[in-house]
Amino acid sequence: MGLFDTFKKILYHKEEQGEEEKKVLQTYEKGLEKTRKEFVSKLSLLGVKYTKVSPEYFEELENLLIMADIGVNTVYSFLDRIKERVKKENITDTKYLNEVIVDELFIIYVNHDSLSDKMNESSDGPTVILMVGVNGVGKTTTIAKLAYKYLQLGKKVMMIAGDTFRAGAVTQLEEWAKKTGALFYGEDAKDPSGVIYDGLEIAKNEKVDYVFIDTAGRLQNKVNLMKELEKMNRVIGKIIPGAPHETLLVIDATTGQNGILQAKAFQEITQITGIVLTKLDGTAKGGIVLAIKESVGIPVKFIGLGEKMEDLQTFDIESYIYGLFKGMIEQDE
C-alpha cells in the first residue's frame, strides 16, 4: 500500500544512514517501549481475535486508542476516517487494516504541515527561547538538557533565571548552568523582567548563541501570569528585536490529558510556538503526542525519552511512528 510502503522505505533509509541516526532510532525505540508493549501488542491481539473487520472490532479499537491517551475527540475523528477508508477500499482483513491505522496516525500529526518541526533561529544575535510551564513538569531540567544539546554542538549558551517567585528556583538553575558549562544570570530579590533585561544585555556582549529563560509556573492566577509574560515579552523584544524566537511549553507526558488542559490554558495567556514533552518513556500512553497536536495545533519540538542529558530528543514524527510500531512494521515485511 502506498503511504505505508513509502514510510517503511524512509525508516530503512534512516537505519542505514550511519551511527548517529541509528542511535536516535534506538532512543525512540527504547523510550516508547511502554506504549509499544501496551498499545501495539493489544492492537496485534485485536487482529487475532477479529480476523475480519466488524462493529465489535471497531468498538474495541476505540477503547484501545482512548487508553493510549490519543484523546476522545481525536479518536472519534480518526475512527471516522478509518471507517471511510474501509468502505472506500473495501477492506475486510484486520491485518491489512493495521497498515491503514499506521497511515492515518501519521496523517493526524503531519496534516499538511512540514514533517520537520525546526526551531526558529535568530540570524542576528542570540536566539532567545522563553520556557513556560507549571511547576513540577521538569522545566528547569529541560532547560539544562536543551542547553547541553546546543553546547555539544559547540554553541555558546546562557541561562537566565526569570522565575524569582519559587523558592530555590534561581539557585537550582545556577547549579545546572555550572554542571553543563552554560553562562548564567539571575538574582533572587528582583523583578523577573529586570533580571531578563540585564541578562540579555550580558548575552549580547558575550556573543551568546542561545539564551534559555526560565519563568514562573503558577497557573492558578492566570491574569497575573499573563501580565508578567507580556512584560517579559516586551522587555525581550526591546533588547533583541524579534525575540523571543521560541516560547516552549513544557508538559509532563505522565499527566496525560491534564497536559492538554495546561496547553490550552497557556495558549490563552501567551503565544506558544512549541511543546517539550517530558517523561514520555515513563508512560504507556505515548499517544499524547498525537492528542496535543490535534487538540491545540502546536507542534511538539522536543521529547524526553529518558533520564540522561542526551535522552531529550528533537521530535521527529517518522522516528516516533517507528518507535511506536516497530514490531508491526517488521511483521509486515
pLDDT digits (tens, 9 = 90+) for 15-58: 666 788 788 888 999 999 999 988 888 888 998 999 999 999 99
Domains, the chain: 2-115+322-331 (1.20.120.140), 127-315 (3.40.50.300)
> Nine-digit cell at 314?
528533537
Length of the chain: 333
> Nine-digit cell at 248?
516552549
The mean pLDDT of 190-209, rounded to a whole number, is: 96
Burial class (CB in 10 A: 0-12, 13-18, 19+), 29: middle
Strand partners, 252: 278
> Nine-digit cell at 182?
552554560
Contacts with 223 (C-beta within 8 Å, 6 or more apart), sequence order? none
The pLDDT score that the predictor gives to residue 142 is 97
The pLDDT score that the predictor gives to residue 10 is 60
Report yes or no: 142 and 250 within 8 Å, Cβ to Cβ.
yes
Specify the pTM: 0.91
The mean pLDDT of 188-205, rounded to a whole number, is: 94
The mean pLDDT of 309-313, rounded to a whole number, is: 93
Cis, peptide link before residue 241, omega less than 30° from 0 = no
Residue 131, number of CB atoms within 10 A of its CB: 25
Report yes or no: 249 and 275 within 8 Å, Cβ to Cβ.
yes
* Phi and psi torsions of 135, nearest 5°: -65, 140
Band (pLDDT 50/70/90 cuts) for residue 110 is confident
Q: Is the pLDDT of residue 116 over 50?
A: no
pLDDT digits (tens, 9 = 90+) for 121-147: 998 889 999 999 998 899 999 999 999
Report yes or no: 162 and 192 within 8 Å, Cβ to Cβ.
yes
| SS3 state of residue 130 | strand
The pLDDT score that the predictor gives to residue 60 is 95
Instruction: Provide the angle, in degrees to the nearest 10, between the axes of the packed helices 55-67 and 72-88.
Output: 150
Cα 285 to Cα 69: distance, rounded to the nearest angstrom: 5
Count of helix runs (H) and strand runs (E) in the chain = 14, 8
* Phi and psi torsions of 146, nearest 5°: -65, -40
Higher pLDDT, 295 or 278: 278
The pLDDT score that the predictor gives to residue 326 is 78
Match 511506536 to its residue by C-alpha cell: 324
